[in-house]
Amino acid sequence: MSIERIWKDQLYQEFARIGKCLSSPKRLELLDMLSQGPKSVEQLAKITGMSVANVSQHLQTLHESRLVRSQKQGNFVIYGIAEISVADFMVSLHRLSEKQLVEVQKLKSEILLNHVSIEPIALEELLERMDRGEVLLLDVRPEDEYATGHIPGAISIPMEELEKHLASLPVDKEIVAYCRGPYCLMSAQAVEILKSKGIRASRLEEGVHEWKRFVELSNMSTKEDT
């Protein structure tokens, strides 16, 4: 066996470590949640409906593959993605799966059937209208996720606090709500609440990481044109 063959076998064996680690649906969900911001084991257990023990086991596997990092804060262990490329990978995985798998497309359609009256707004249109001062962008994720990163110009009102803050929202602008991305329904629920109170509202399907990619691609396109 040639040295080159041995090298390639070893290389793809290492690549397979990541693939094997990502073969669990629950570990993919944990990476999605951690892409929004650092969280404790207990927070992740509450979000995913798993036991603390199961979450810890999955996180250990992700840690061994160097996809997440951890640190102690008092009595809690806080986990986060190892680097931003992990979040980028998850966005790519979502888009590839939706493009190639009709089952994903069907599941997405079924989920959104309950929110047929909610028209999504395109990211490009949103940014243009924000520049003109026509809309207010509302981030309905938890405050800690907003603090980790958000779309510039967005204000934070977590979903569970929305009804308490309705009176503070402007009546002369359309409200655009967003959350964790295409498969998060908090923004759709927020729009339903806003519309029920007579407030003009729509949903941004993309989240923070999709927005970052959009900006990067736009900047690349601008440089190529010049």
Q: What is the DSSP letter of 69?
A: E
**Considering 179, 184, 186, 208, which one is annotated as catalytic?**
179
Alpha carbon of 91 to those of 87, 88, 135, 192, 215: distances in Å?
Answer: 6, 5, 26, 26, 14
Q: What is the CB-side half-sphere exposure of residue 224 using CA atoms within 13 A? A: 6
What does each C-alpha distance from 153 to 37, 130, 135, 176, 222 come to in angstroms?
19, 8, 10, 12, 22
Q: Whole-angstrom Cα distance, residue 169 to residue 65?
A: 44
DSSP letter at 152 equals: T
Tokens 């606090």 belong to residue: 161
179 is catalytic: yes
Closest CA to 186 of 141, 137, 152, 135: 141
Catalytic (active-site) positions: 179
